[in-house]
Amino acid sequence: MLRESNSSNPGVNLNLSHMTPKSVPMPIYMDHNATTPVDPRVSQAMAPFLAEQFGNASSSSHAFGWQAQAAVKKAREQVAALLSCRAADVIWTSGATESNNLALLGVVRAFCSPAVRGGEKPHIITQVTEHKAVLEVLDAALEWGAEVTVLGVDQEGLISLAELEKAFRPSTVMVSIMMANNEIGAVQPVAEIGEMCNKRGVIFHTDAAQSACKYAFNLQSLKIDMLSLSGHKVYAPKGVGALIVRKINREFTLKPILFGGEQEQRLRPGTLNVPGIVGFGEACAVAALDIKEECKRLHAYQKQILDAVAAFPRVKINGPLKNRLCNNLSFSFPDLPPDDLVLGLSGVAYSSGSACNSSNPRPSHVLKAMGLDDQLARSTLRLGLGRFTTDEEVSVVIDKLVKMLGKAYGAKGTATVQPL
């Protein structure tokens, strides 16, 4: 149920049992990089396909199947319209993890055949701060016969284009660099990477799970060959995603890694998740309505929080101040025990890094790659703003942060960074 708010955007009432002095429902959700709530407009579009319109999209001999087929076609067009690609480029999956697996291992399957490359091992380039859904897939690619180069990053989490240039080999068949990092919000120079790949005839794949619907990008102007998406990052349900496969820049073979059906151009067999696909399509259509204004609003919230925290010079801001997702903030706190962070931000739903690694006691591989020691990496706060974040919620979070940091570090000092 949506609650009323003085802000122009409603918030999601997750629990009304505890209230702050400002009567903001608790907990305050600040973890949109982990997952997003389903937008009411999305759930409304899905509802008929969870009940009376239950047909299988592969059934072509009756009206129930035709309804499902039409819904899937519309959703495909909605995703394509947001990204400025062709509807035929959209391959449905269960999420970005499966999309990454299909993109990477599908290329490895195609190029590892001795008949294709005369026994030469295909070479793939990636970066150290990729999501585990890329890094662990490439571990498997090594077992399948590929060679992999993993680029380092600078202190802001960005790759060096010069280092990428040096990493290309005659045997390089693919580069996989995420568009934006899920932990620190760093946006990589994908346009430049795409150009570098395009002039060499190398396939460029990017994991865009975090960046989709957070800022506008046009695939017609980017030399991206494959792009992974996840529904639950864009206010659609969990369990649905897409791999965009574009063969505009070059023809290439992508082989399936699952078998047993002819769905999705034989690249992803199995009965389609029609309700989820409908939801994903509607989420893209909703985002397209005001994506620039929404990013501007979230950027303003981001700046308010950064301004407040930057007044404490000991706090480390992780990731770039420019070239950053509009909804992401990551801070590390020297000499602040993790328990103090938990207490200081009680009533706020946040994370310390990737939700996929939250049960792993080891420090974040992203933060370690940027040079943080174990203590700093463990005393890290990630805030993810979202569509239903309100003015009041941001004010409460800032108040909690300032009180916690004032207690830990004393009086405010002079800001040591330039605000966003």
pLDDT at residue 289 greater than cutoff 90: yes
Domains in the chain with CATH codes: 14-38+290-409 (3.90.1150.10), 42-284 (3.40.640.10)
pLDDT at residue 14 greater than cutoff 50: no
Predicted model pTM: 0.90
Closest residue by Cα to residue 211 from 234, 232, 192: 234
pLDDT at 353: 59
**What is the chain's mean pLDDT, rounded?**
90
Q: State how far the Cα of 238 lies from the Cα of 87, in Å rounded to an integer.
A: 22
Q: Are strands 241-245 and 316-317 parallel, antiparallel or unpaired?
A: unpaired
What are 324's two structure tokens?
Answer: 């950053």
Q: Read off the pLDDT of each residue in 309-335 and give the average, rounded to a whole number.
A: 95
pLDDT tens sequence across 105-163: 999 999 986 555 566 899 999 999 999 999 999 999 999 999 999 999 999 999 999 99
Q: Read off the pLDDT of each residue in 298-324 and give the average, rounded to a whole number.
A: 96
pLDDT at residue 10 greater than cutoff 50: no
Q: Read off the pLDDT of each residue in 287-307 and give the average, rounded to a whole number.
A: 96
391: helix, strand or coil: helix
Among residues 284, 295, 326, 356, the one annotated as catalytic is: 356
Residues 6+ apart with CB under 8 A from 364: 183, 352, 353, 354, 357, 377, 380
What are 157's two structure tokens?
Answer: 């989490």
Higher pLDDT, 242 or 417: 242
pLDDT at 420: 54
pLDDT at residue 416 greater than cutoff 50: no
329: helix, strand or coil: strand
pLDDT at 2: 33
pLDDT at 337: 85
Q: Would you say 233 and 272 are in contact if contact means Cβ atoms under 8 Å apart? A: no
Residues 6+ apart with CB under 8 A from 130: 176, 177, 178, 207
Dihedral sign for Cα 72, 73, 78, 83, please: positive
pLDDT at residue 22 greater than cutoff 70: no
pLDDT at 115: 54
Per cent of the chain over pLDDT 70 is 88
> What DSSP designation does 48 have?
G
pLDDT at 249: 82
Determine how many CB atoms are found less than 10 A away from the CB of residue 60: 9
> What DSSP designation does 265 have?
G
Q: State how far the Cα of 149 lies from the Cα of 192, in Å rounded to an integer.
A: 19
Dihedral sign for Cα 199, 201, 207, 211, please: positive
CA 336 to chain centre: 28
What are 226's two structure tokens?
Answer: 């494959």
92: helix, strand or coil: strand
pLDDT at residue 20 greater than cutoff 90: no
Q: How far is CA 409 from CA 161, 333, 336, 339, in A?
A: 38, 10, 9, 16
Q: Read off the pLDDT of each residue in 183-189 and give the average, rounded to a whole number.
A: 97
pLDDT at residue 63 greater than cutoff 80: yes
Query: Annotated catalytic, 356?
Result: yes
Peptide bond preceding 27 in cis form (omega within 30 of 0): yes
375 φ, ψ (degrees, to nearest 5): -65, -45
351 φ, ψ (degrees, to nearest 5): -140, 170
Higher pLDDT, 92 or 9: 92
Q: Which of 14-23, 122-131, 228-237, 312-321 has the lowest mean pLDDT?
A: 14-23
pLDDT at 248: 87
Q: Would you say 36 and 388 are in contact if contact means Cβ atoms under 8 Å apart? A: no
374 φ, ψ (degrees, to nearest 5): -60, -40
Closest residue by Cα to residue 98 from 234, 267, 276, 274: 267
Residue 166: burial class (beta carbons within 10 Å; 0-12, 13-18, 19+): exposed
pLDDT tens sequence across 235-252: 999 999 999 999 988 889
Q: Which of 27-31, 99-103, 409-413 has the lowest mean pLDDT?
A: 409-413
Q: Which of 163-167, 260-264, 346-350 has the lowest mean pLDDT?
A: 260-264
